[in-house]
């Protein structure tokens, strides 16, 4: 009975609610930014409350005048938010199926698109190493790479040691959380764990395929203004 009710509600929602289109987020960190969204999707997808648990940290760690690295750019909405907060963002995305949407979303925000650089590459020790890519040190890095977080950090060991950017890392699995935590602690960071909210969770453990899915927040050196 419960499954039938769910299917009826979903069908009614698809019938009544508008479908996929370029829309402005009404709330949260992404308010006013334009991105491809469907109102048939869950509320958090199109409202601006995506990953609401960390939005206050993202605002706090991205003051004006910095340079953000968004590793695992997905559809580009975080990169746009970081560009609006700091002034500039380099977003790294190697998945061919995600790049077209990312680029369309960046183009849909003409006031910001010149401040978002899209790098169509995977990041890691066997891909593009952030230490090799760096022309100018980032003041902030967000990493969301579906289980390769510690490898991305290893590719940025020089940046972390010498420049100490602020970090927000979405960890996928207890092994990755342990590996990232050990490395960051060894480099002098003090990671703080932020769990997913208990209600209206965006990703269940079974769906994500990991035994845990949460964030590590690390404060580095104070952000400095860049030219």
Q: Does 178 reside within a domain?
A: yes
Would you state the pLDDT for residue 3?
55
pLDDT at 144 > cutoff 60: yes
- Supply the pLDDT for residue 19: 58
Give the integer Cα–Cα distance in Å for 21 and 91. Answer: 23
pLDDT, tens digit, for every residue of 87-98?
999 999 999 999
175-210 pLDDT, tens digit per residue, is 999 999 999 999 999 999 998 766 555 554 434 578
Q: Are residues 108 and 206 in the same domain?
A: yes
Q: Round the average pLDDT of the chain to a whole number and report it.
A: 86
Spatial contact of 153 and 178, defined as CB atoms under 8 Å apart: no
pLDDT tens track for 32-73:
999 998 777 777 777 888 888 999 999 999 999 999 999 999
Tokens of 24: 């402005």
CB 41 within 8 Å of CB 49 = no
Q: Which residues make beta-bridge pairs with 61?
A: none
Q: What percent of the chain has pLDDT over 70?
A: 84
CATH number at residue 136: 3.40.50.150
Residue 166's contacts (CB-CB under 8 Å, 6 or more residues apart) are 61, 62, 139, 140, 141, 218, 219, 220, 223
Does residue 226 lie in a domain region? no
Q: Is the pLDDT of residue 147 over 90?
A: no
**How many distinct structural domains can be found in the chain?**
2
Task: Find the range with the poorest average confidence among 70-84, 184-198, 211-225.
Answer: 211-225
Domain span at residue 107 reads 51-218
Same domain assignment for residues 13 and 77: no
Domain boundary among 12, 27, 50: 50
Instruction: Look up the pTM and report it.
Output: 0.84
Say if residue 143 is in the same domain as residue 37: no
* 18 and 61 both lie in a single domain: no
């Amino acid at each position: 009975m419960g499954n039938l009710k769910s299917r009826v509600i979903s069908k009614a929602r698809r019938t009544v609610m508008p479908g996929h289109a370029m829309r402005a987020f009404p709330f949260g960190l992404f308010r006013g930014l334009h991105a491809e969204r469907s109102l048939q999707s869950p509320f958090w997808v199109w409202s601006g409350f995506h990953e609401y648990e960390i939005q206050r940290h993202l605002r706090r760690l991205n003051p004006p005048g910095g340079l953000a690295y968004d590793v695992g750019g997905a559809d580009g909405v975080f990169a746009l938010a970081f560009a609006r907060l700091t002034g500039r963002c380099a977003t790294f995305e190697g998945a061919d199926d995600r790049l077209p949407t990312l680029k369309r979303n960046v183009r849909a925000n003409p006031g910001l698109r010149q401040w978002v650089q899209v790098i169509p590459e995977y990041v890691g020790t066997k891909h593009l190493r952030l230490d090799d890519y760096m022309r100018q040190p980032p003041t902030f890095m967000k990493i969301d790479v579906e289980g390769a977080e510690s490898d991305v950090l290893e590719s940025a060991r020089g940046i972390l040691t010498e420049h100490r950017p602020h970090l927000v890392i979405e960890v996928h699995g207890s092994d990755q959380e342990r590996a990232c935590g050990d490395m960051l602690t060894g480099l002098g960071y003090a990671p703080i764990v932020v769990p997913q909210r208990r209600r209206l969770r965006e990703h269940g453990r079974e769906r994500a395929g990991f035994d845990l899915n949460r964030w590590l927040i690390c404060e580095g050196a104070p952000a400095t203004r860049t030219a």
